[in-house]
Chains A and B, each alone.
Chain A
Amino acid sequence: AQRVTQPEKLLSVFKGAPVELKCNYSYSGSPELFWYVQYSRQRLQLLLRHISRESIKGFTADLNKGETSFHLKKPFAQEEDSAMYYCALTRVSGGSNYKLTFGKGTLLTVNP
């Protein structure tokens, strides 16, 4: 069974400080990992995926298969980063359909 763990329900940092939202997963096969974000009064939306190796809004995330982790990082947090963040996992699909499994979420608050 696949499982996603976000150990922190709440994370509070000051503006300009580095931020790291932790995500650990358990899955025996080859996973694909994602971060979704929900800003206040907005829809949940895809932030980034590990296969893209991209930086979105200054955030990056590296898949560490040895530690089964996919932590989300940003060197300098901004107030507009305050949101609920969900880590999610799916199998490598190869064209097949597999559902996403979400973690329980971390509420990030960036204080001025």
Chain B
Amino acid sequence: DVKVTQSSRYLVKRTGEKVFLECVQDMDHENMFWYRQDPGLGLRLIYFSYDVKMKEKGDIPEGYSVSREKKERFSLILESASTNQTSMYLCASSFLGEDEKLFFGSGTQLSVL
């Protein structure tokens, strides 16, 4: 059974802090994704990666960066957290060529005060 693990279920940070959200998958998936999920706005893609050290911007990359140093790990970084980044963050992974079959993590609910 595929497991996508996000390091924290809940996080509370202060405005201006640098925030790291970690995601690890154990199925040797090439693709990894970061989404944010907001009521009424659905899922919006922040960044994705198809290979180690490779990254591509999604639809809403502003204020975020990512790191993929190892195949199984994909980190989302908020350089200077702001209140409008309060959201549920979902990590997902999939096999190369099967982008539509995403396996999601449980999510990290981030509150920026």
Contacts and interface: CB of A to CB of B under 8 A. Distances in A.
B43 A97 contact: no
Chain A interface, DSSP helix/strand/loop, else mixed: loop
Interface in B84-113: 90, 92, 96-97, 99-107
Given A46-B102, A104-B42, 16 more contacts: A36-B102, A43-B104, A44-B90, A49-B100, A88-B100, A90-B100, A95-B97, A97-B31, A100-B99, A100-B100, A102-B43, A102-B44, A103-B42, A104-B41, A105-B42, A105-B43
23 contacts: A34-B100, A43-B4, A43-B105, A44-B104, A45-B103, A45-B104, A46-B101, A90-B99, A93-B97, A96-B97, A97-B96, A97-B97, A98-B99, A99-B33, A99-B48, A100-B45, A102-B35, A102-B42, A102-B43, A103-B42, A104-B40, A104-B42, A105-B43
